[in-house]
Amino acid sequence: MPFIQDAGAPDGLPVVPLYVNGSPHPVDKDRLFPIVNSVENKTIHYAVSADPDSATRACDAASEAFKSWRKTSPAHRRSLLLKAADVLDRRREEIMDWQVRETSCPKEFAAFNIMAGAMYAREIAAATSEIRGTVSQRLSKPDGEEIGGLTIVVREPVGVVLIIPPWNGAVILPVRAISMALAAGCAIVVKASELCPRLHSVLVECFEEAGIPKGVLNIIQAKREDAVQVVESIVSHKAIRKVDFIGSAAVGSKIGQVCAKYLKPILMELGGKGPAIILEDADLQKAAQLCAMGAVADHGQLCFSTERIIVHKSVYDRFVAILTAIFSKIPAAGDSVTRQSATHAYDVLVDAQEKGAKFLVGGPEYIRPTSLKPTLVTNVSRDARIWDEETFGPSASVYIAEDDDDAIAKANDSAYGLNAAVHSTSWEHAYNVSKQLEYGQVHINNMTPSDSPGAPIRGVKGSGWGQSNSIWGIHEFSIEKTLSFHPSEVNPLIMPS
């Protein structure tokens, strides 16, 4: 997919085109929007914003390609996904560079994204071996005597799907979503993030380089002012059978309403307010290190981030002293994807301070316009925004729990239910607590930002619905169809007595 030069963009900068049916669309200079590196506060290139007509063409191309792609075998799709993972590995440096340039993430986080993205693609490829149907018992008379016939259940791709990936986890999450849909036999329209369209287009290049036929995988982007109209034009298209959205609960709610309007199912992985519970028998040093890492990774811009730390009162003072010492030694936690995002994280801390919160480390203070000081907050009041709003900044709030039941109640006191962590030196103790937590994933003695490619991942409550990863993700993009074969000698309108 070409990164178009000499397209008439300001300052002669290159342009990310719309890519439909295996080729870039001609660039409309009137529909260009800038892609800005937040740290430099500088436009690094431009992208073409889609309109309903171009979005419809993408759906039409995917619909036509689906006719033949759906007939491919799981083994064939597996081989292409494995090749795509190899291409991701080979183009590692290039992909890392685009993620850093467009999202301002640390290079180490970009490197992790490439490694994990390829790993997820390989796991999903392996899971194609589990795509199978079932055979039911034959028909019988009321007295139980068999009369022949056969009922089988086959699994088929759901159809053309819309995938809307985010800018955070900007390699892992789109690779995972694309791989699941392709493995199921679906054709795809990707609506790239408006913050990193070049990165997402390079990922599509990797799949095409691996041999995915033209039209099976199409990618467009839209500036925020156009996004609502463009997304609805895709969701409403007769070929679209499902939507996969990864992003904030606020945007997910709006897209979910659009899907409901057109009776289209949606897979959603939304926000979180990840709690880490420190039980009285926890390894305090290890738990503190993991909580700190989970809070500040990629400037706290992960839906899995450790946002709340709930500590048993018997170890509270000792744990907080250790955690404070660790936070105090973190000079910086990276940069926000935009300056507006940094401002949001800052404003949430200011609001907490105005409502009585205290800062054990840091506070509402910038290191630079895109980076805040790593911050530990305590004495948070229930009416503060930070109580249950994602900060997307390098901060965590610390709470004291009277006992295990109080810790569980505090952890569950959230609109979200994505990831949680429990720290204990007793697996049985941690297990008993974990069973009572209202979260899709609970990690024992690990960070909240954790995931296993071979296990399902899902949100509960306000963190979405449906499952991703491995065969569970493939099943999200397929349907079970029942085929019933009646014996030729039996009249189905007259059942034998």
- Which of 123, 205, 232, 269 does the annotation list as catalytic? 269
User: How far is CA 32 from each of CA 51, 105, 139, rounded to the nearest angstrom?
Assistant: 12, 24, 62
Cβ burial, residue 449 (10 Å; 0-12/13-18/19+): buried
Please answer whether residues 61 and 55 qualify as being in contact, where contact means their C-beta atoms are separated by less than 8 angstroms: no
Q: Could you confirm whether 303 is annotated as catalytic?
A: yes
Please answer whether residues 153 and 480 qualify as being in contact, where contact means their C-beta atoms are separated by less than 8 angstroms: yes
Report the C-alpha gap between 393 and 338 in whole angstroms.
12
Cβ burial, residue 383 (10 Å; 0-12/13-18/19+): exposed
Report the C-alpha gap between 298 and 335 in whole angstroms.
7
Residue 281, amino acid: D
Task: Classify the C-alpha dihedral 141-145-148-152 as positive or negative.
Answer: positive
**What's the full length of the chain, in residues?**
497
Report the C-alpha gap between 114 and 169 in whole angstroms.
10
- Which of 59, 186, 206, 303 does the annotation list as catalytic? 303
Report the C-alpha gap between 389 and 346 in whole angstroms.
13
Report the C-alpha gap between 50 and 347 in whole angstroms.
33
Please answer whether residues 466 and 477 qualify as being in contact, where contact means their C-beta atoms are separated by less than 8 angstroms: no
Return the active site residues.
Answer: 269, 303
